[in-house]
Structure 1
Amino acid sequence: MTAVHASSRQPDHGDWDETVDAIIVGSGAAGMAAAITAKLAGLNVLLLEKTDRIGGSTAVSGGAVWLPLNAQSAGAGHPDTFDKVWTYLEQTVGDSAPSDMLRAYLDAGPKMLEDFTHQGVLRLVARTASPDYYPDLPGAAMGGRSLDPPEFDGRKLGRHFKELRDPLPEFLVLGGMMINITDAKHLLRVTRSFASWKHGMKLVLRYVSDRARGYHRGTRLLLGNALAAQLFEQVLQRGIAYRLKADLQALVRDENGRVIGVVVHDNGAPKRIHARRGVVLATGGFPWDAARRNEQYPAPTGPWSMSPKGNAGDGIRIAASASAALGTGHTHAAFWAPVSLLTRPDGSVQRYPHLVWDRAKPGLIAVNSAGRRFVNEATSYHAFVEAMYAAHAQVPSIPAFLVCDQRFIDIWGLGLALPGGRPRQHLIDAGYLLRGDTLAELAQQLSIDPLALADTIARYNRLAAAGEDTDFGKGSTAYNRYLGDPDHHPNPCLAPLADGPYYAVKVYAGDIGTAHGIATDPHARALDATGQPIPGLYVVGNDMQSVMGGNYPAPGITLGPGLTFGWLAGRALASTVAAR
């Protein structure tokens, strides 16, 4: 038997502390999908989670799932065809991902959803309005391809609710109540609309009831937390064994190179667990592996990821030690997002992802260290950071600055500075929120040329007043306008910056997960350097080389493939001949 650097011999049964059919390492959507699929096929499954919470990156995500050709798309008003989506992917992904992997995803994704829906495993609802991120390209869809998990009642998890990973603090209000964009819009209008007041009161009363019953946070779950909770409920209901604080140390291979088990620290105790059918790695990629990040990301980079800190490249590193090869040809090593950073009094850092709430709204611009715009502020979060890196090659643009006036911050907020006139002085004192009564004062705070900033804003204001951004096209696409203010005309993404005071936050080139991982075949089997599958080893989620090649064509392009290839891995395990 071989662990890493150990000699090879066939193990006796007495060498194992435990034997199961399949071991799944990692409890995000991809890992739980693999575990549930294998269990539905009758296998004895063990789910291992390094941290003390279930849910991985899924639980802290926005929860969108991109599944072209799903059965709901026509009913959502957006009938889809293979030729249409393939045309779109040819332009947005191209040859940065193997065509057989993309075809496997498009073929299996709808089947996965149909199977999980039929089995009562998963419920997703197609968006009637949700443009792909490049809506002007041929083959793009205006909705139907992206689906969301419905609201989930966390009380269904019973005593296990505390084992579900909490969402990001930025998705919480009142210290523990989840809200989505619809909720936020109602809460901002609670004093101006009876319907919004009713909506807001319903949310608050539910939350107060939850806390009075002893829950550590609200049990009305949304976004990726609802998706993770749905899957976790199935893990519990299907009787899938799982271990928290179970840290993978090594894979075990027989003399023929087949993966037949794992070495794991189970709550600190070393264990050797036999997997008769195989092992699935779904540990969340490498955003918190500093060495690999510095090697794979463009410069500058830093600890700016929104992923859980447990996603430290364990699966990729350990798979590579078992002769698995890394994928090649990708455009980017990560899925980017601009992130602002608040250093708390205790020295810890809170990260805020500027995904869909503030950048597209009318009255905000982004500038670099020269005080100049460099990007369409309403573009996707991934494309925004692409632009940061492109601009940085000429002028320091990391960090960049999001700039707005008093009216904007009161209506929309700015990062951690919440809207509605809530207290912000603590953010100013911490250096997170920068404020100036005049543009010159703000420029001094940002250490940029005040004349350049004033000139940039004057030009932007003229464009905004005319309703057309001829410089960068803010508000020029359906995706831009989808995220803007529908009540603002003529352009829902453009409004002049008015009188001071003015505000800004620094944003860094962060990520929401990695795209560079282990090469696999369409069955999620890990490949070696010769392109041959490694028997008994499967890789899914962000441990797997992205089928998007590090591109970001639409919302949900990590969870869609994660669920799909998790399902494929579970089916492959079920069809595998058991090892001795």
Structure 2
Amino acid sequence: MRFGKADLSQHYDVIVLGAGAGGMTAAAVAAHEGLNVLVLEKTNRLGGTTALSGGMVWAPNSASETTVGTEDNVAEARTYLDAVIGSRPGAKLRQTFLERAPEAIAYLGRNTAVKLTPLAFYPDYYPDLPGATLKGRVLEPRPFDGRTLGEAFRLLRDPLPEFTLFGGMMVSRTDIPHFRRMFRSPRSALRVAMLLIKYGLHRLNLHRGATLVLGNALAGRLVKSLRDLSVAVALETDVTRLLMENGGVGGVEIAGADGPVTVRARRGVILATGGFSHNQEMRQTYLPERAGPLSAVAPGATGDGLALGRTAGGSLPAGNESNAFWVPVSTFRRNNGAEAVYPHTVTDRGKPGMLAVASDGRRFTNEANSYHEFVTAMLRTDTGLSAVPCHLICDSTSLWRYGLGAVKPMTARRAPYLKSGYLIEAPDLNGLAAKIGVDPTALAKTVARYNSDAETGSDTLFGRGANAYHKYVGDAETSPNPCMRPLTDLPYYAVKLQPGDLGTAGGLGTDGNARVLAENGAPIPGLYACGNDMNSIMSGCYPGPGITLGPALVFGYLAAMHLAGKNTPDAG
């Protein structure tokens, strides 16, 4: 059977709903174990939100000590998760994740195109808590040549345009500093020139650059795995219901052009449709009212898997700290007229010369904290001090060096952003205060205190730059505090930030094999869930980079191995 084509008239061993990281991992593992697998994807692209993401995978104890120069273990990682998450539900699943993650990552490395490299330095998000580490727990997908996908390259979801250069060139995390220094360093100039030449050659025949990095590389590697294993794939396919047989799930019903089409699954169905980020009714039910409707998640995550799982007897457990993984976002309209949501993860907020102010013109949190923690602060701000929305402000030097939201670094042509109202510009603080609607005296005092603290290197209000994670997201070339620099270079700029999400945390309750549980705690035969269709093992907390992708890969693997009848750790 040719990849990309699916015969919906035949039966399969396993049917996977959704082609993000969790779904494609489950499909690849099941296929490698000899099962006949069908992947059904609602949209017209493969990769889901993974393809748009940073692609980091949090998988403690999966890197060798010789690789990263440090030793990790289950006990230390468990200590850290306990410190962050506390006594919230999910402890048993967290233990399963920690114990089985090394096995799952090793399996993928041996048997699929997924290749992950541990980062020598990437701190946990709360590096001062017990059990935290500065390196070794975060894995990064190796760069991937999209040309090896052949015609399937066009089926892979493109990255966000705002995270590419020149209309389709992806830039790796390690190459970003070279672009910043290309006018000051011959070595960096040469590196950038080589990248540009390579990109130009790709564009002779392709719709974008084929050197894939970050989440697009991970998604591309998973697509390559499905292709290599001849997994059947059907795009633009809506599943309308699960087939219930003998108290369990025996297949799916698909909306066809001439009526419903029934496809049976001999062993089971895996729900991996991406959660409910784009289902406004579910957002109103499970998320805070002030969170609003915005999401940076790929189209298609409309709660289909959760709805199907609930009709089969599954439920969403209570007890999460949050039912979403938060990120501040800004909104704008692209040149093609499409409305866009830009996630402010690590590119601007924690950089020198950036600060966020609430409706009273004052800072309300540490801008260098994780994106999840930043929005948590936005949502908990007292009603008399609204940070929904807030504004991220900077001076001209910081705008040039780091960009501001969708405005990329070293952007000389700012007129379109200014004309649309996305980027706000003012010649002085009084003018900026008027444009963003805050008290000018309060804003002046805020900036004066920030500037004074930046000079001394100590944030006397929130301790910005005081821990290893803050320093990581800052700029090592700035001292004495890599996260702070006085705002002195006119004009001033601002972008409006609102709450958004990178995915939902509330999902179906499952066991350690990713089987969906009925309300009485018993597994529903033939029904599994992973990715954001599975309730977050982190209970809606955000301990570190990749804590959605890590569990997605691991529990996708565990679901497939259970379906294959292999419940014990893989021995080789």
Fold shared per TM-score above 0.5: yes
Residue identity over aligned pairs, in percent, reads 45
**Of residues 84, 88, 92 in structure 1, which corresponds to 2:80?**
88
**Aligned residue identity for 1:94:** G
Q: Structure 2: how far apart are the matches of 1:461 and 1:357?
A: 21
Which among 235, 239, 255 is matched to residue 244 of structure 1? 235
Q: How many Å separate the matches in 2 of 1:97 and 1:560? A: 18
Alignment of 1:257-272 (within 5 A): 257-265=247-255, 270-272=260-262
Alpha-carbon deviations, 1:218-274, whole Å to 9, x = none? Answer: 1000000000111110100111111111111110011x3110010112578631000
- The CA distance in 2 between the partners of 1:395 and 1:127, in whole Å, is 39
Q: How does 1:149-160 map to 2 (within 5 A)?
A: 149-160=141-152
Aligned counterparts of 2:333 and 2:220: Cα–Cα separation in 1: 30
Give 5+ residue unaligned stretches, structure 2: 1-7, 568-572
Deviation at 1:483, TM superposition (A): 1.2
Task: Decide which of 434, 437, 459 is 1:444's aligned counterpart.
Answer: 434
Residue 466 of structure 2: which of 476, 480, 493 is its match? 476
**Any idea what SS the aligned residue of 2:101 has?**
helix
1:428 equivalent in alignment to 2:418: yes
Asked if the contact 2:530/2:552 (under 8 Å) is kept, the reply is yes
What one-letter code is carried by the residue in structure 1 that aligns with 2:94? L
The 1:173–1:85 alpha-carbon spacing in structure 2 relative to 1, beyond 3 Å, is same
Match of 1:6? none
Distance 1:275 1:133 in 2: 41
Q: 292, 295, 316: which one pairs with 1:302?
A: 292
1:117 Cα deviation from its structure 2 partner = 1.6
Determine which of 498, 510, 513 is the counterpart of 2:488: 498
Displacement of 1:318: 1.1
CA distance in 1, matches of 2:50, 2:402: 26
Give the aligned partner of residue 21 of structure 1.
Answer: 13
Of the three residues 328, 339, 342, the one matched with 1:338 is 328
Greater CA drift, 199-208 or 117-126: 117-126
RMSD: 1.5
Of 115, 127, 132, which residue of structure 1 is paired with 2:124?
Answer: 132
SS at match of 1:272: strand
Query: Residue deviations 1:85-142, cap 9 Å, x none?
Result: 1110101122223211011101111100111222244210000000000000110000
1:181 is aligned, of 155, 173, 179, to: 173
Work out the CA distance in 1 between the residues paired with 2:485 and 2:184: 23
Kindly indicate whether the alpha-carbon contact (under 8 Å) linking 1:285 and 1:517 is maintained by their aligned counterparts in 2.
Answer: yes
1:365 corresponds to: 355
1:530 aligns with: 520
Q: 1:105 aligns with which of 90, 94, 97?
A: 97
| Residue 220 of structure 2 corresponds to residue 226 of structure 1 | no
Please, which of 225, 235, 242 is the counterpart of residue 226 of structure 2? 235
Match of 1:572 in 2: 562
Check if 1:516 corresponds to 2:506.
yes
1:542 alignment partner, one of 507, 514, 532:
532
Structure 1: give runs of 5+ residues left out of the alignment.
Answer: 1-15
The one-character-per-residue Cα deviations of 1:180-223 (angstroms, maximum 9, x if unpaired) are: 2332221222222111111111111111111112x111100000
Secondary structure in 1 aligned to 2:352?
Answer: coil
Distance 1:208 1:484 in 2: 31
Query: Deviation per CA, 1:377-418, whole angstroms, max 9, x where unpaired?
Result: 000000000111111544111111001111111111111122
Assess if the C-alpha contact under 8 Å between 2:426 and 2:492 holds in 1: yes
| Alignment partner of 1:56 out of 32, 40, 48 | 48
Report the CA distance shift for 1:311/1:73 in structure 2 as closer, same or farther (over 3 A).
farther
* 1:18 alignment partner, SS class: coil
Say if 1:17 and 1:212 are closer, same or farther in 2 by CA, change over 3 A. closer
Amino acid at match of 1:460: Y
For residue 301 of structure 1, report the CA deviation from its aligned partner. Answer: 2.8
Gap change, CA 1:347 and 1:575, over 3 Å in 2: same
CA distance in 1, matches of 2:562, 2:328: 38
Q: What is the CA–CA distance in structure 1 between the aligned matches of 2:321 and 2:396, rounded to whole Å?
A: 39
| TM-score, structure 1 as length reference | 0.94
Q: Residues 97 and 266 (structure 1 numbering): CA distance in 2 closer, same or farther, change over 3 Å?
A: farther
Q: Does structure 1 residue 165 correspond to structure 2 residue 196?
A: no
Matched, 1:558 2:542: no
Q: Secondary structure at the match of 1:246?
A: coil
Q: Distance between the aligned counterparts of 1:549 and 1:19, measured in 2?
A: 36
CA contact (8 A) 2:28 2:112 kept: no
**1:147-203 C-alpha deviation (Å, 9 max, x unpaired):** 000110000001110001111112111001111233222122222211111111111
Q: How many residues align?
A: 560
Retained in 2: the 8 A contact 1:74–1:80?
no
Residue 79 (structure 1) aligns with: 71
User: Could you tell me whether the CA contact under 8 Å between 1:78 and 1:142 is conserved in 2?
Assistant: no
Q: Aligned equivalents of 2:318 and 2:521: distance in 1?
A: 12
- What TM-score, normalized to structure 2? 0.96
Distance 2:49 2:407 in 1: 24
Contact 1:246 1:267 in 2 (8 A): no
Q: 1:478 to 1:468 in 2, by over 3 A?
A: same
